[in-house]
Amino acid sequence: MTISTTPLPLSTFVMLAWRNLWRHRRRTIITLVSIALGFGLAVFSIGLQDSGHNNMVKNAINMGDGHITLQEKDYLASPANYRYIAEGKNLLQKLTQLKINGKLIPRITLQVLASTANNSVGVRLQGINPNNDPLRSLLNKYVKQGQWVNNADNRGLIIGSGMAKKLKVKIGSKIIIITGKKGGDSESHLGRVQGIFQSGIAELDKYLIISGLAFSRKFLVAEGAQQDKEPLTRIAIFLDDAKTIQSVKTLLKKNNPYPKVSVLDWQEMMPQLVQYIVIDDISAYIMQVFILLVILFGIVNTVLMSILERTREFGLLRALGLKRQYLVLLILIETLLLSLLAVACGWLVGGSIHWYVATYGIDFTSLIPEGTSFAGTFMDPVIYSELSAKRVIQLTSIIFLTTLISGIYPAIKASRIQPIEALKT
Amino acid sequence: MSLLKIHNVSKYYLQGEIKVHALSNINLDFRRSEFAALVGPSGSGKTTLLNLIGGLDTPTSGDIHLNRTNLTDLNEQALSQFRLFQIGFIFQAYNLVPVLSALENVELVMVLQNRPASERHERALHYLHLVGLDDMTHRRPSALSGGQQQRVAVARALAAGPKLVLADEPTANLDSENASALLDIMHKLAIEEQTTFLFSTHDIRVMERAKRIITLKDGQIESDNAN
């Protein structure tokens, strides 16, 4: 007797599996609908969550110090006004030569005491170039009184409404800005309120003072920096394309002439935000695992039921000479086809929901008033769904593999059918 | 020359601690083109013997040689392959795969045999013609009568080119007219195709047409007569 080792034509199994799938049309449709709804729910929640995270990161980067920040290497661990970049001008010139696609924004950030005759408050003084710093586009719209500073305003300050209230100042009022120097002395300069903003973010409204670079630089000079070298506390880099962070960071590290200056990305600058996103992602993943488990059991139930009711048929096929492994193959192809349909239906439902929410958004104004902050950044009240290509691949793979894996147990069970027993049923 | 030789075959089952003898010391010999019937009351061992010959079950002792192959020497995979090429099966009912048409059902075993598509298509049409179902080739089993379904099963069994066809009560669910027609077809094909047919049956119509009747009683051969 010759034993054939040539594999059987796959097309026969695919055809047989496809027809088997539609043997109980209603059951298959119910299974697909349940998968599609579960998947749609997962796509919807992930899309909103990713969008929320992306917006938070985007706002945090815009409000913070860009995608990449160059600052004195110990500043992050132990911020102090004497930790500055002495060669600000030189470093900025060198970075300009690298032709990075993005904006190089010089900044001076200092911890200061803002004092008036009425009160004193510990605040953050942010010295910026008032014309091109992204803070302008972000906060200018919230200036409720006075106006935005310009380079010529050597003493002009923009403060938040919360601080104005605390210091009991108005437009034109004087504020003494005082810093403690490294040696123990203090340095003070007089500023004048030129604008008052109200962003809704407590951290900004109560604790931020914006000035021109020239005003803030006086404090660095008092620390020993040379005025002509245009010292800075950091250079914030706002990239045109956020995907280039790692390559630009590598380039900067390679071309950084100052060992005392470190190159940090936003994740290193804002570890709390990263931590929040990770924790939020974990909770979402746990929910998704539950959704997938429901899908998994639904499919196992469907496939298992369809196998149990075909016991005699499988016995017949085995009696006719179908090998065990081909029976396993047949069931796996059935599950594979179910998986493909599940992915298609899942994307049809999930994709439609995503498209709608990505296009029109969901207005949470009643729950999130405009200007609400979260983890120190703005939270947009209208949330749009966002799904990256990575997420699409991830979700597709998960639903596909979940469905496929759910066919393994029924396939093994089918392969164990003994023809003689099965034919008695 | 002998096609099928059954030598001292016994089969017992354990029911709890009790040993139940289904077959005891069976010795039989079948030649090519025989049209034989296994008869006997329920529980006499007819189906057990057919299962052993068909390689669906293994004897407790003894040997079964089909076409010079000792079935008791074959493992499960080899038995599966052996059934595919050497034995055709016709069962009492639910013989066909419901999602396949008559033509596809007949082709199925030839697909498993890895025959070329054109050959299996041609053979399937030929055997469906021989069983008188030319105009029903694309019907699914649910659209065929019981008799027509059994004819498709006969076509499927023969299209695979087996040496032996085992039929377990093939006419049990058929009316007189259909049973007669089916038996005529099988008898004709046994001669034309040089294939041995072995039935297990209670049906008097089958017994009338069988050329050899083997009567089993309590797992033993009571008689073995030419008809």
CB of B75 within 8 Å of any CB in chain A? no
Nearest CA in chain A to B67: A1
Chain A residues touching B112 at Cβ < 8 A: 8, 320-322, 326
At A226-279, the pLDDT tens digits run: 999 999 999 999 999 988 999 999 999 998 888 899 999 999 998 888 898 899
User: Would you tell me the crossing angle of helices A408-415 and A271-308 to the nearest 10 degrees?
Assistant: 30
Chain B residues touching A12 at Cβ < 8 A: 108, 111
Chain A residues touching B91 at Cβ < 8 A: 316, 423
Chain A residues touching B78 at Cβ < 8 A: 1, 3
**Cross-chain residue pair B85–A321, CB shorter than 8 Å:** yes
pLDDT of residue A2: 44
Cα–Cα dist A232/A145, whole Å: 29
Chain A residues touching B111 at Cβ < 8 A: 8-9, 12
Minimal CA separation from A355 to chain B, in Å:
39
pLDDT of residue A280: 85
| Residue matched to tokens 């377990």 | B168
**Cross-chain residue pair B109–A321, CB shorter than 8 Å:** yes
**Partner residue facing A3 (CB), from B81, B99, B117:** B81
Scored b (16 or more CB within 10 A) or e, A98-122 reads eebebebbbbbbbebbbbbeeeebe
User: Is pLDDT of A346 > 60?
Assistant: yes
CB of B12 within 8 Å of any CB in chain A? no
User: Distances from the Cα of B85 to the Cαs of A422, B119, B177, B199, in angstroms?
Assistant: 21, 16, 32, 19
- If contacts are CB pairs under 8 Å, which of residues 77-106 in chain B contact chain A? 77-78, 80-86, 89, 91, 94-95, 97-100
Q: Provide the residue-wise pLDDT of chain B in tens; the chain has 227 residues.
A: 688 999 999 999 888 888 888 999 999 999 988 999 999 998 899 999 999 999 999 999 999 999 889 999 998 889 988 999 999 999 887 679 999 999 999 999 999 898 998 999 999 999 999 888 989 999 999 999 988 998 899 899 989 989 899 998 888 877 888 788 888 888 888 888 889 999 999 888 888 889 999 999 999 999 998 76
Cβ–Cβ < 8 Å for A343, A396: yes
- If contacts are CB pairs under 8 Å, which of residues 242-301 in chain A contact chain B? none
Cβ–Cβ < 8 Å for B136, B96: no
Which band of pLDDT confidence, cut at 50, 70 and 90, is reported for residue A84?
very high
Residue B58: alpha-carbon gap to chain centroid: 17
Q: Does A222 or A383 have the greater pLDDT score?
A: A222
Which band of pLDDT confidence, cut at 50, 70 and 90, is reported for residue A3?
very low
At A59-71, the pLDDT tens digits run: 888 888 899 999 9
Cα–Cα dist A246/A265, whole Å: 8
Chain A residues touching B80 at Cβ < 8 A: 318, 321-324
Nearest C-alpha neighbor of A43 from the set A400, A387, A393: A387
**Longest pairwise C-alpha distance within chain A:** 108
**Cross-chain residue pair B86–A323, CB shorter than 8 Å:** no
Nearest C-alpha neighbor of A12 from the set B57, B50, B121: B121
At A153-203, the pLDDT tens digits run: 678 999 999 999 999 999 999 999 999 888 788 899 999 999 999 988 888
Mean pLDDT, rounded, of chain A: 86
CB of A380 within 8 Å of any CB in chain B? no
Q: Is A87 helix (H, G, I), strand (E, B) or coil?
A: coil
What is the mean predicted confidence (pLDDT) over A104-127? 93
Cα–Cα dist A364/A380, whole Å: 9
Which band of pLDDT confidence, cut at 50, 70 and 90, is reported for residue A210?
very high
Chain B residues touching A312 at Cβ < 8 A: 94
ipTM of the complex model: 0.88
What number of C-beta contacts closer than 8 Å exist between A and B? 70
Cα–Cα dist A245/A264, whole Å: 10
Chain A residues touching B117 at Cβ < 8 A: 9
Q: Which CATH class is domain B2-226?
A: alpha beta
Percent of chain A with pLDDT over 70: 94
Percent of chain A with pLDDT over 90: 34
Cα–Cα dist B75/B79, whole Å: 6
Minimal CA separation from B45 to chain A, in Å:
14
Domains of chain B, by residue range, sit at 2-226
